[in-house]
Amino acid sequence: MIEALLGKAELVSAFRFRSGPELDSSPEMSICAMVSSRAKTRIDRSSKAGIAMTNFTPLQSLLGGALIGLSAVLLMALHGRIAGMTGILTGVIPPLSPEWRWRAAFLAGAVAAPLLYQAAGGHIALSVPMPTLALVGGGFLVGIGVHFGGGCPSGHGICGIARLSPRSMVAVATFMVAAFATVFIIRHVIGG
């Protein structure tokens, strides 16, 4: 069944993500046409399984999540601090926190890790389709949210939920609802 679907997905790809009467009208073909046309699914021809995917990176995701979790646990165990990036960053901006050294080391590791990954032959696909002004405005709004929310998404989402903090659970739910609403408004109301 999977091989048949993949063969049909290849056919859809050959039709440049179009669906219509010229294509087979089987249910499998309809699914492949929908996935290919809406999600721009590509076929990974390098693997023998031939899985249809869109940015499917299970190994990198698992490794990255494990390293983030490990760093959060070590920071809590060794320093008694929560791994919230904005709180850590605040401690290295003047006036310096008395604990600025570990904060600087943590931030240096966050910057060095992707550079080391690329130096080891890894590839990080990065695309920023937004104008610089929109990024600056978004960063400003996030900063306001961090101030009023009593922490950032990394602090609440990774550490707060792990500690079963009700405040963090409410904060993360609020972040998610705001993110969904923002994407909906930008993509469907404004048309971005």
Question: How buried is 123 (Cβ within 10 angstroms: 0-12 exposed, 13-18 middle, 19+ buried)?
Answer: exposed
- Give the residue numbers spanning the domain of 76: 58-119
Asked if residue 93 and residue 142 are part of one domain, the reply reads no
Cα angle 41-47-50, degrees, rounded to a multiple of 5: 45
Is 169 domain-assigned?
A: yes
Taken in order 152, 156, 159, 165, the sign of the CA dihedral is positive
Higher per-residue confidence, 53 vs 187? 187
**Average per-residue pLDDT in the chain?**
75
Asked if residue 80 and residue 106 are part of one domain, the reply reads yes
Asked if residue 80 and residue 103 are part of one domain, the reply reads yes
pLDDT class for 5, splitting at 50, 70, 90?
A: very low
Q: How many domains does the chain have?
A: 3
Strand partners, 42: 53
Residues 171, 177: Cα–Cα separation, whole Å? 10
Asked if residue 114 and residue 75 are part of one domain, the reply reads yes
List pLDDT tens digits, range 43-98: 444 444 444 445 778 898 899 889 889 989 999 999 898 888 888 988 999 999 99
